Structure 1
Amino acid sequence: MTTFDEREQAFEAKFAHDEEMQFKARARCNKLVGLWAAELLGKSGSSAHDYAQSVVSADLVEAGHDDIVRKLAGDLGPRASENQIRSKLLEMMPRAQEEILSEAG
């Protein structure tokens, strides 16, 4: 195997790792936002965790945050606007990334 082939394989492995970490961070972010929304809905304990999991699952519908925002806006009604939901998603992403990195290392 040539040096070029080794570099290519290393690059591909790093890319795959980075994509996996980003996917996990996004799922964690969705879970954190789901827990926030569950609190607004008056849910706690396993009910809150089940709701947060439903938010994570909702993100598998389409690319981007629009599916999450639609679900949460529908569930929360007047408790939170779409802008508040989008702000919460942006707020939680750094925390989610930090949590995933701390678990990986």
Structure 2
Amino acid sequence: MKLIIQLLLTAIVVLVLAEILPGVGVDAFTTSIIVAAVLALLNVLVKPILVFLTLPATLITFGLFLLVINAVIILLVDYLIPGFSVDGFWWALLFSLLLTISQSILYSLTEK
């Protein structure tokens, strides 16, 4: 049940951010649900591999390279989902930052 609530909250945040940011677009709410699910799947399967492969760069930049990995994951979701579009790396970076902050706030509110 908690996973479904988190996916729905993420889908809502994706939809809101797509309305706010001009470089990000989502066709419909169902597309944002698919984006949230694929994003969760990629964060579980692909992100640990990327973190391991880029460990030296992450250590040298004191963890800031993880922002680049998050943006790459967003761009990968853009490539995989037809109704979701991100106009470039910098939009993906901003989108991932705002998505992470929003998820942190919402998830902490739902835990209580």
Q: TM-score, normalised by structure 2?
A: 0.48
The Cα offsets for residues 11-65 of structure 1, whole Å up to 9 and x where unpaired, read as xxxxxxxxxxxxx9xx77xx3575456x7142x1334312321122112212342
Contact 1:58 1:68 in 2 (8 A): yes
1:72 corresponds, among 69, 74, 77, to: 77
Contact 2:71 2:93 in 1 (8 A): no
- Aligned identity (percent) is 9
Structure 2 residue ranges without an equivalent (≥5): 19-23, 49-68
**Relative to structure 1, is the Cα distance of residues 82 and 91 closer, same or farther in structure 2, using a 3 angstrom cutoff?**
same
Structure 1 residue ranges without an equivalent (≥5): 1-23
1:49 corresponds, among 6, 23, 33, to: 33
Take 2:77 and 2:34, find their aligned partners in 1: how far apart are those partners? 14
Take 1:73 and 1:87, find their aligned partners in 2: how far apart are those partners? 14
Higher helix fraction: Structure 1 or Structure 2?
1
Higher strand fraction: Structure 1 or Structure 2?
2
Provide the aligned C-alpha RMSD in A: 3.2
Take 1:92 and 1:99, find their aligned partners in 2: how far apart are those partners? 10
Aligned position for 1:16: none
Take 1:47 and 1:70, find their aligned partners in 2: how far apart are those partners? 15
Contact 2:71 2:92 in 1 (8 A): no
AA aligned to 1:49 is I
**Relative to structure 1, is the Cα distance of residues 69 and 46 closer, same or farther in structure 2, using a 3 angstrom cutoff?**
closer
Shift of 1:101: 1.0
> Are residue 100 (structure 1) and residue 98 (structure 2) matched?
no
